[in-house]
């Protein structure tokens, strides 16, 4: 299991984007692009990682994040990551959906 990344991208972006995951993926406008921008700024090349609350697990799978399993060192929450390639595909789709 990779170590948790404590980036602004995690804190401000994807968690905000997934806040309404139990309501079929309703997302806060602009949160996900902010997460990607923060990831880029911090040298993570758009990659994102987070520990998910159980009710949000399916949301993160739905948007294409990789489920790396439960993290015993972090309250047994599931750890999800989005690679640079996954992030690029996700944000391209989001941009196309907005137009």
User: For the chain, which residues make up each domain, given as ranges?
Assistant: 8-98
pTM for the model stands at 0.64
Report, as an integer, the average pLDDT of 10-31. 46
Residue 93 has pLDDT above 90, yes or no: no
Q: Which residue has the higher pLDDT, 15 or 45?
A: 45
Q: How confident is the model at residue 54 (pLDDT cuts 50, 70, 90)?
A: very high
Of the chain, the percentage scoring pLDDT greater than 90 comes to: 27
Mean pLDDT on 18-33: 48
Angle of helix 84-98 relative to helix 31-41, nearest 10 degrees?
150
- Distance between CA atoms of 23 and 1, rounded to whole angstroms? 29
Half-sphere exposure of 89 (CA within 13 A, CB side): 9
């Amino acid at each position: 299991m990779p170590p948790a990344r404590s980036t602004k991208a995690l804190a401000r972006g994807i968690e905000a984007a997934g806040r309404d995951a139990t309501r079929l993926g309703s997302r806060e406008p602009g949160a996900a692009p902010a997460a990607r921008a923060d990831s880029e700024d911090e040298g993570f090349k758009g990659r994102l990682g987070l520990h998910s609350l159980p009710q949000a697990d399916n949301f993160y799978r739905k948007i294409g994040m990789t489920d790396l399993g439960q993290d015993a060192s972090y309250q047994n929450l599931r750890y999800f990551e989005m690679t640079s390639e996954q992030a690029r595909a996700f944000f391209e789709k989001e941009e196309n959906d907005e137009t």
